[in-house]
Structure 1
Amino acid sequence: MAATPPQIAHRSYGRAQAARPPGVQDLLRGEAKQRAAAASRGGGNGRRHEERCRRRHQRTLELDVLDCAVCWQALCPPVFQCAVGHLICSSCLAKLPNRKKCYTCSRKGDYNRCYSMDKVLGSMQVPCSNARYGCTVKTSYHQKQEHEATCPHDEPCFCPVSCCGFSGGPAAATHLRHFLTDHGWPSTEFSYGASFDVAVRDEDEMRVLIGDDGHLFLLTVALKPSSCVVDFSVVCVRPRDVEPKFRCIMAFGSWKNSNYYARSEFQVTSTAFFGGMPPECVMFSVPKLCLDKDSSIHVTMHNTLA
């Protein structure tokens, strides 16, 4: 007859948990059953809701479709449309010489208020371009540019000198103090539309140009030993151009050693100096043989949006 194995008593050495009262256990079991039943009945609805959320996050929209067909600026309510559906902002509509014909397709007919687009513009929120620098603000599309103009989380600007580790915010005062104090670069204050002279010395030079609106520019004079010309460039010290804003005219004339005159007009590039001076920013050159100790170039800056 096989021996019956001994019964081993298992002893719990942990602190015993207090048993719930029977009424509480019954209540918990009842709630669990109710949740299971609800999930069974509404499982399809739950899955459909998750699918709608997933599709909502996957949708993309090219924001330029929200621009006015005339001025190409961001549309803001009230928005109007022609009979075909071409959109126009209220300010451009008021300026049209003929409001009985579509500016885009020339179809005859009145412009009518587009309430559906007003609703879209009012409900759409876009993140600030400085979100990667810590900005959490979301605005309507037509208010995005206004916010970014004063956003405190703007992209940092650096120093164009390769061995300088300076970096700071977009505030012009920070960079002006660095350029003038740490590097000792000369500066020139100017008014837009008024010409001023910049002396050309026989050495490379960085000159700070200070606009009457507070914007900073760097004028670079580069005398390359292997080249027969002196290169000039002007850049605006700001992280990005929301849209082109400044133009520069440079002119030089020499009648002492030779009859020579050159002039160039160009769009001013904006840069944060990430990686140094932007490539291909030279917009004006003068032959070295035309320069002497009294030479200077004539510079005129224009604010195209003023």
Structure 2
Amino acid sequence: MGKKEQQQDEGEEPRTLDVTVDDLDALDCPLCFSPFDAPIFQCKNGHAACEACCARIRDGLCSSCHEPIGEIRCRPLEKAIAAMLVPCAFAEHGCTRRLRYAEKAVQEALLCHYAPCVCPLPGCGYADLDLRDHIQGAHAAAAGDHVVVRFVGSAAVTLRRGTPLVVLLQETDARVFLLLNGGDVPSGRSLSVVCVGPRLGAGKSMEYELRVVGGRGGTGALSLSASGPVACTRMWAGHHPTEGFLFVPDAYWSSSGAVSITVHVRKLNGGERQGMSA
């Protein structure tokens, strides 16, 4: 019986070693600069590249020495990276997770609940963990050209054509959503929803539904609706989704330039089908 099997049978903890990597670039693919993750390939001279980059190399030759690359696995590097745990970049904010190196970038950018979020309102430099409380305290009373609405489940919003966004503060789990009123659409406006905060994680997601009724069409006007996944970001930089929006034609806006919208957000478990009932 090998030593490793003997340790497992005796219930011993696996051996660990704390190391310092002086050059983190050594753990990234030199071609695409993304963190290495298995499978990793090397040429006969030991130059490594990720699988995606090897597939994109037309002549199949190493960019460093021009030897063939893409057939020989670099298993020692794969094993070292698979066993490597690194602290989250937001440990100083309270995160205690130790992450696989290949998962570090995604976890910190999209999933870590200890990463600061940037206030989306113009002229505000807030970037911290309590974004909802900040907006409620600093902007709810006087948001200028913007509107702040608190909601549980659904929010009823009267949106003016010239209002660029409405901040929606969810009461149940302190999340911040933005109802975006986009331009550059002929004969109407495009409305969309984003969340300023981390993704839910654990296979869960969020879905929005937008519904518009009325306008100059009167009480008999047909309603408009759209639903889809909610995109999450820690810093909204003014970009509007190019897919997944509700187009509201000019005819739906009242003579005063307003429209009534119902915004509904719900959580989905991993196995649930997207698409809300009408």
When normalised by structure 2's length, the TM-score is 0.51
Q: In the alignment, which residue of structure 2 is the partner of 1:221? A: 181
Task: Give yes or no for contact 1:241–1:270 (8 Å, CA) kept in 2.
Answer: no
Q: In the alignment, which residue of structure 2 is the partner of 1:304? A: 268
More helix per residue: 1
**How far did residue 63 of structure 1 move?**
5.6
Separation of aligned partners in 2, 1:122 and 1:64: 8
Gaps of 5+ in 1: 1-52, 66-119
Task: Give yes or no for contact 1:221–1:230 (8 Å, CA) kept in 2.
Answer: yes
Gaps of 5+ in 2: 1-20, 29-34, 40-79, 271-278
Could you report, residue by residue, the CA deviation over 1:260-303 in whole angstroms, capped at 9, with x for unpaired residues? Answer: 332211111222335x2224367112111122257412221112
Report % sequence identity: 18
> Is the alpha carbon distance of 1:134 and 1:261 closer, same or farther for their aligned partners in structure 2, counting shifts above 3 Å?
closer
Separation of aligned partners in 2, 1:272 and 1:140: 20
Task: Give yes or no for contact 1:160–1:277 (8 Å, CA) kept in 2.
Answer: no
Structure 2 residue aligned with 1:204, among 163, 168, 190?
163
Separation of aligned partners in 2, 1:265 and 1:130: 33
Aligned positions of 1:1-306 closer than 5 A = 58=26, 124-130=84-90, 139=98, 141=100, 149-151=112-114, 154-161=115-122, 164-172=123-131, 173-181=133-141, 183-184=143-144, 185-192=146-153, 195-211=154-170, 212-222=172-182, 227-238=186-197, 245-254=205-214, 256=218, 259-273=221-235, 276-280=237-241, 283-292=245-254, 295-305=259-269
> Is the alpha carbon distance of 1:201 and 1:64 closer, same or farther for their aligned partners in structure 2, counting shifts above 3 Å?
farther
Separation of aligned partners in 1, 2:84 and 2:165: 45
> Is the alpha carbon distance of 1:140 and 1:259 closer, same or farther for their aligned partners in structure 2, counting shifts above 3 Å?
closer
Paired residues, number: 191
Task: Give yes or no for contact 1:244–1:267 (8 Å, CA) kept in 2.
Answer: no
Separation of aligned partners in 2, 1:287 and 1:122: 52
Q: Which amino acid in structure 1 is aligned with residue 248 of structure 2?
A: V
Separation of aligned partners in 2, 1:216 and 1:238: 7
> Is the alpha carbon distance of 1:178 and 1:235 closer, same or farther for their aligned partners in structure 2, counting shifts above 3 Å?
farther
**What secondary structure is seen at the aligned counterpart in 2 of 1:177?**
helix
Could you report, residue by residue, the CA deviation over 1:151-179 in whole angstroms, capped at 9, with x for unpaired residues? Answer: 3xx24414353xx1523113222244343
Separation of aligned partners in 2, 1:64 and 1:214: 38
> Is the alpha carbon distance of 1:174 and 1:64 closer, same or farther for their aligned partners in structure 2, counting shifts above 3 Å?
farther
Task: Give yes or no for contact 2:189–2:249 (8 Å, CA) kept in 1.
Answer: yes
Q: Which amino acid in structure 1 is aligned with residue 263 of structure 2?
A: V
Separation of aligned partners in 2, 1:122 and 1:231: 44
> Is the alpha carbon distance of 1:228 and 1:244 closer, same or farther for their aligned partners in structure 2, counting shifts above 3 Å?
farther
**What secondary structure is seen at the aligned counterpart in 1 of 2:140?**
helix
Separation of aligned partners in 2, 1:139 and 1:174: 29
